[in-house]
Structure 1
């Protein structure tokens, strides 16, 4: 309903409103205000109004208005708190990989190829390893599995 399930607004809303029953206990205007506050908007806009309407409609359609097991809510709460931590860890790993790749001369060369950005360049370098072990370009092409003649 909010677009990206893993976005901060989505996770915060889900943490505060974990069931359809909780969403249906308030008015659509309150849901809209809640989304507006979580997103940091001062005034309501088309996005917050649309999302509030969609959330209310989805809560109405949900055949499971109440959660059968409290353990489901506990699991949901734990996962909501773990996701941002995982996202932070992945961001730090991405940055570390990029920092290491920038130390390599080949990193800039590979990025000069149109369509190859920072992540793909680092991935290619990690897969190839030491380029000096290939004494000919044909061996590198064969290693990569992109030889058009095979």
Structure 2
């Protein structure tokens, strides 16, 4: 499971274009201002792995959507580090 190395993985174009754009813009603003240190650390880790900027950005957007789902599901607040 952790050994998968794909050479041609692209972002899926399914779903809402506006939601995808909003997530990416939220991640970019969070990274520029360094407001969310967990997201910044995740981005830096992906860049250290050799991922391009856009790939790391989409990975952060995916991480953000997972966090949002967990917050809504558990009905708890977000605690930034």
> Same-fold call, TM > 0.5?
no
Structure with bigger gyration radius: 1
Pick the structure with more helix per residue.
1
TM-score class normalised by the smaller sequence: 0.3 to 0.5
